[in-house]
Structure 1
Amino acid sequence: MHNIPLFKVLAKDSWIRPFLKRYKKTMVAALILGFMTFFCAGALMFTSGFLISRAASIPENILLIYVPIVLTRAFGIGRPVFRYIERLVSHNWVLKMTSKLRLKLYNTLEKDAIFFKNRYSLGDVLGLLAEDINHIQNLYLRTIFPTIIAWILYIFVVIALGVFSIPFACLMALLLFSVIIVLPLWSVVVNGARQEREKQLKNELYTELTDNIIGVSDWIFSQRGHEYVNWHDQSEKQLQDTQASLQKFNRRRDFLLQVIMGIIVVALLFWTSQQFPGNHGGAANWIAAFVLSVFPLVDAFSTLPDAAQETNIYKDSIKRLNALPTMTEQSTEKALEGSLDIKIEDLVFFYEKNNRKILDHLNITIPQGEKLAILGRSGSGKSTLASLIRGDLTPTSGNVQLANLSTEQMGDDISEYIGVIQQTPYLFHTTILNNLRIGNEQATIDAVWEVLRRVGLEKLVEELPDGLNTMVDEAGLRFSGGERHRMALARILLKDVPIVLLDEPTVGLDPITEQALIDTFFEQLTDKTIIWITHHLQGIEKMRHVIFIEDGQLEMSGTPEELAKSNPRYQKLKAIDEGKF
């Protein structure tokens, strides 16, 4: 797959090509302006060289050099003007295209977030949003535009030289062909694999760093932090070695390019001395003109090897964008009937990107009203299981059902039945009232005060200057961690969903606040199904059932009392949690 040329990837593209057609006039204008920039630069040096030599050979007759003087002024003004306009037009074209591309991407992710997450981990999503759109922007500014402009210049130069000498034009065509075709192709072939490796290592570091920072408490709790640090150091070393190989090749290739351009200059020196012999410095006039005109063109041709080499990065970004799911709308459009039991049958899940299996043939039944705790180290699959129960992920095989309906098919309707309190509940930059009414916009003021009383926040809100109309800072930073969790619980109570997922809600809280929060949770959710994901066993005795997931499989199951008496592993975990081990 990595050896597929960029043009074949673009041929099957449904993201980039529509915008090419929409803004094609602007793109053509940018290409013409880019050509005119280098044309004026070369023509400026050509006429300047001729003018200097001619003025030196016959200084007494100003009329003989009047035309070169005018052309020098014209090309001298034209070069920066065309350059400036070309930059405006090309960047305007690219920015218009990428702005529409970003809008399309965000709409796709918002509409299909549930179905997108089963193929990509959080680090991949961030990579797609942060890097791939910029790669598409650079594809045009640093690769496609410079390459097309260089090809146009190549054709123009060969034809212009052919007017004077077809054999010499053929020689120049061969030398320049090695610069604009052979060297770029060589860069793609030799350095392509290295660049793929570099991007792969960067993506792995990005993904793992993102996921493990979020789960850093699990690494610390399991006393395996040094393992991650060692892995990270090894990955960094591999990345540095790969980048060193890339740079070494680039230095050698750039040296070869300069050698070829030097050969072109020497060939021009020899050819012009033979092509334009004559008195009064005739040969010298044209030698200076032709030779000096080469140097501005070096800037147009020297960037092509790097530009071609970067296509390995760009085509991967294009493939990732085209791999996004088609926007869909799914809904049950009816209330669930019967008991709201959750059945997990032969559940298998792995991320398609790295084929890493997270859950392996898991079978669990969670009756309505059950109080279930899910334990497991970081990466064991417990949070993935919660996402599958919530319908945020699609199983690779097997199924997760709520009242005999697959949760993945419920779409947004799942929020009517399952609420979630996460590690860091988010409060929006609006009033407290609006924050609490997110799940139930029709809730009365009395109902809002009632849930605040139940979660222990009534007095706090009453003492605020504007009460329920008090504005909440971005992310709710004016409230403590425990208060934000109680706000999240108030939302759940106002929504009155029958099932609540507690995704390690007490992480980072001090022991006193943690215990008080746990007591509030279980006092107020006593009539609901509770699924508590945790690595911390404080308050575990409040649960009816405890399971332990290891490497995607169910390794331990029972009531807290049974496990405390008979299971050595649970006893060890309990002792560690209580500081007795």
Structure 2
Amino acid sequence: MDAPNGENQTKRRGISRLKRKDKRNTHERSLRPLMMIWRAVAKYPGHVALAALALLITASATLAIPAGFKLIIDRGFAEGSQPDEIARWFRYLFIIVGVLSAGTAMRFYFVSWLGERVVADIRLKVQENLLRLAPGFYEANSPKEISSRMTSDTVLIENVVGTTVSVALRNTLMALGGTAYLFWLVPQLTIGLVLIIPLIVVPITFFGRRLRTVSRTSQDRVADIGAMVTEVLGAMKIVQGFNQESREQARFGEAVEQTFATAKRRIVIRAAMTAVVILFVFGGITLLIWRGATAVSEGSISGGTIAAFVLTAGLVAGSFGALTEVYGDLLRGAGAASRLNELLDEQPTIAPPARPEALPQPARGSLSLRNVTFRYPTRLETPAITDFSLEVEPGETVAIVGPSGAGKSTIFQLVERFYDPQAGTIRLDGVPLTSADPAEIRRRIAFVPQEGVLFSANARDNLRYGNWAATDEDIWNAARAANAAEFLEKLPQGLDTYLGESGTQLSGGQRQRIAIARALLRDAPILLLDEATSALDAESERLVQDALDHLMEDRTTLVIAHRLATVRAADRIVVMEDGAIVEQGTHAQLTAGSGLYSRLAALQFGLEGA
């Protein structure tokens, strides 16, 4: 196919474009991208309410444990207390522990449910938007990098919803509730504890800004590794065939080390932040407990009070310490959310107009390209076709030939409205493509690519991909017309046989005949054939060409071909060079001349055999 030159360069540009967006986002010093997650969570208010109730129960029960110990020490162990009195207060403590365990189970269930549900919803929304985007988007942006976002980033979001937010809320409730209880117990000591809080906030703010940037970069590096693995494993025959295993291993090792170096920076920043916060929190609490112990010795507070204060202060300190770690996880989640938001916010460049013009019924199958000029978005400096005009009548077979890079496949992409030209108009049955719904345009077109593209599914689903409502009888009729019935009948489970990833269990000729049968089931008035026999051996080419003859009957057909022998019977042959038509006519007319087609024919089979 005549794809834009420099495909890899194009993809690299696309990746860098996305990453430039990423770079801008890393300068945000807030958790604002997490609003996307909140909007997804808010769709399930019942589960959110139950999760919040469970969080409240567990936080309250945890804080009730120090109060229980206060009662045990001050009343159960008081002078003259009986064993029954001691047992009474311990029974209360057991009740608190039971409530805590039940609330924790409830919290785990509802929070985990929300995490899984939100991730599923986000994946569905992202995939829905990705399916709306024009194919040009995936030429400018690596599908491997996008798929990595759909996996690694959604896992991070699942952790945020299913674990991090729960931990953050629980520790916030415990920190606030514990502080209030401490004020009730010993106001003087608690004031000293409150004064420590600003010492905690400052390092969180200082380190958090740096942590967000490094966390986002770390996710980029992980995505790069995922994309690299997919690319190399998908081309393993080429890698091993050219003995490039050691080079690929070295390249992968370099990427892994870069990922590790970035992760190490993140770990260092997070470790430093945690150490500073814990030093301030626990150091301050130690001083307060020292002061409290002195007060107990002086008799100004009871032993149970200081015990409750120590336990509660430990819980409060632990909560603040956990919040510092949670903040780092939230920052990573915010980075993942912003990356997925980019995919959600991407708008399709090819979309139906507000009021699409209906295509005429019944379909005629006429095509008209008038003065069309087109440049690929990633290569605007060089036109793919220039001032191109071609009229194709209903039922006519037009072959398009020419050297690689002439613009042949570009015509197909414009006809299917994967791109819009910068100048000129393309009409289908008299209706400009830009005025019609792209989905309706494509329903009138069947496409057979150079290599039969199959999906990781059974034979039936691959065959009916062009017409999902087709019955088994329709499928077998199309298979017989495409010379595919014989090998399909020999498959272990017939049409239910799984064909492997991308149809790897079939030969190239078999995959191509399934692609032709799929186009037959499409039953569209316009047929596009992109060098459908160029990669086949002689026997497979004969079978496929015979199937194509059935497919082309009573249809408007555009054929791209390098093998001129396959297009000699075309009603008209259009010869392209450098994005323009240089000559056209029948095979006999063109070979009789001295133009490009005549020279190509002489190279392929000699004028004598033409």
- Is the structural similarity TM-score above 0.5? yes
Helix, strand or coil: the match of 1:456?
Answer: coil
Does 2:28 correspond to 1:4? yes
Question: Displacement of 1:485 after TM fit?
Answer: 1.7
Equivalent pairs counted in the alignment come to 539
Question: Displacement of 1:197 after TM fit?
Answer: 1.6
| Residues 70 and 307 in structure 2, CA contact (< 8 A), matched pair in contact too | yes
Q: Which amino acid aligns with 1:74?
A: I
Does 2:362 correspond to 1:334? no
- 1:168 — aligned with what? 189
- 1:473 — aligned with what? 498
Aligned pair in 2 of structure 1 residues 118, 406: CA closer, same or farther (>3 Å)? farther
Summarize deviations over 1:492-550 as a string: whole Å, max 9, x none: 2452553324388877x7x5666556755776677831236xxxx8x57757788899x
Summarize deviations over 1:331-355 as a string: whole Å, max 9, x none: 65214778525579443344xxxxx
- 1:153 — aligned with what? 174
Q: Distance in 1 between matches of 2:467 and 2:375?
A: 31
- 1:502 — aligned with what? 530
Question: Displacement of 1:60 after TM fit?
Answer: 6.1
Match of residue 410, structure 1, among 426, 438, 456? 438
Please identify, of 74-83 and 319-328, the stretch whose mean Cα deviation from structure 2 is larger: 319-328
| Residues 386 and 501 in structure 1, CA contact (< 8 A), matched pair in contact too | no
Question: Displacement of 1:316 after TM fit?
Answer: 0.9
Unmatched runs of 5 consecutive residues or more in structure 1: 351-355, 571-581
- 2:558 — aligned with what? 529
Match of residue 487, structure 1, among 488, 503, 514? 514
Question: Displacement of 1:83 after TM fit?
Answer: 0.9
| Residues 348 and 358 in structure 1, CA contact (< 8 A), matched pair in contact too | yes
- 2:105 — aligned with what? 84
| Residues 160 and 333 in structure 2, CA contact (< 8 A), matched pair in contact too | yes
Helix, strand or coil: the match of 1:529?
Answer: strand
- 1:390 — aligned with what? 416
Q: Distance in 1 between matches of 2:488 and 2:31?
A: 61
Question: Displacement of 1:420 after TM fit?
Answer: 3.2
Match of residue 326, structure 2, among 288, 300, 304? 304
Q: Distance in 2 between matches of 1:96 and 1:111?
A: 23
Q: Distance in 2 between matches of 1:55 and 1:435?
A: 79
Over the residues paired in the alignment, what is the CA RMSD in angstroms?
5.1
What pairs up with 1:168-187 in 2 under 5 angstroms? Answer: 168-179=189-200, 181-187=201-207
Q: Distance in 2 between matches of 1:529 and 1:158?
A: 77
| Residues 349 and 357 in structure 1, CA contact (< 8 A), matched pair in contact too | yes
Aligned pair in 2 of structure 1 residues 230, 478: CA closer, same or farther (>3 Å)? closer
Aligned pair in 2 of structure 1 residues 233, 63: CA closer, same or farther (>3 Å)? closer
Q: Distance in 2 between matches of 1:540 and 1:214?
A: 32
Does 2:479 correspond to 1:455? no
Match of residue 261, structure 2, among 241, 245, 263? 241
| Residues 401 and 574 in structure 2, CA contact (< 8 A), matched pair in contact too | yes
Does 2:348 correspond to 1:323? no
Please identify, of 83-92 and 413-422, the stretch whose mean Cα deviation from structure 2 is larger: 413-422
Question: Displacement of 1:263 after TM fit?
Answer: 1.1
Match of residue 141, structure 1, among 159, 162, 172? 162
Unmatched runs of 5 consecutive residues or more in structure 2: 1-23, 393-397, 568-572, 584-594, 605-610
- 2:213 — aligned with what? 193
Match of residue 58, structure 2, among 37, 41, 45? 37
Match of residue 348, structure 1, among 375, 379, 400? 375
Q: Distance in 2 between matches of 1:216 and 1:122?
A: 18
Q: Distance in 2 between matches of 1:89 and 1:67?
A: 34
Match of residue 24, structure 1, among 38, 41, 45? 45
| Residues 432 and 470 in structure 1, CA contact (< 8 A), matched pair in contact too | yes
Q: Which amino acid aligns with 1:417?
A: I
Q: Which amino acid aligns with 2:309?
A: F
Question: Displacement of 1:82 after TM fit?
Answer: 1.3
- 2:93 — aligned with what? 72
What's the TM-score once normalised by structure 1's chain length? 0.72
Does 2:363 correspond to 1:363? no
| Residues 185 and 305 in structure 1, CA contact (< 8 A), matched pair in contact too | no
Summarize deviations over 1:244-277 as a string: whole Å, max 9, x none: 2112222222322332342144133223224444
What's the TM-score once normalised by structure 2's chain length? 0.69
What pairs up with 1:370-449 in 2 under 5 angstroms? Answer: 370-372=399-401, 375=404, 387=413, 389-391=415-417, 393-394=418-419, 401=426, 403=428, 405-406=432-433, 409-421=437-449, 423-426=451-454, 435=463, 438-439=466-467, 449=477
Among all aligned residue pairs of Structure 1 and Structure 2, give the percentage whose two residues are the same amino acid: 14
